Amino acid sequence: MVVYFSANPDLLDKIKYSDHVLEKFENGKILNDFSHSFPLKVDGWMSMGRMTVERGGDGFYYIHIYLGLEWANRVGTVEYILTFFGEMKHRMFNF
């Protein structure tokens, strides 16, 4: 099931990054992994993306946000997955 909705701006202002996301970000900078090491300031534009609610493989529902982006001469889509409590579980730039 995919449900389109408008996210509460307060939720997006209080994002907490999971350890997994932070680890991928730091390792991405070291390994030149553009998919995970794009600037954190991009996350401030999440509210401009297409938002859906989708069920994950674990059976729980998550907020998915898709944001078009051009960065480092690459054009693609940033994918975010967040819990309803504001924890970011996934952050990736697909180009």
Cα 74 vs. chain centroid, distance in angstroms? 17
pLDDT at 20 exceeding the cut of 80 = yes
Which pLDDT band holds residue 8 (cuts at 50, 70, 90)?
low
Write down the domain spans for the chain.
3-94
pLDDT of 29 reads: 79
pLDDT in tens, 42-92: 888 888 899 999 999 999 999 999 999 888 888 999 999 999 988 999 999
Q: In what order do the strands lie in the sheet with 16-17?
A: 3-4, 50-55, 61-71, 74-82, 87-94, 16-17
Which pLDDT band holds residue 1 (cuts at 50, 70, 90)?
very low
Q: What is the mean pLDDT of residues 21-39?
A: 86
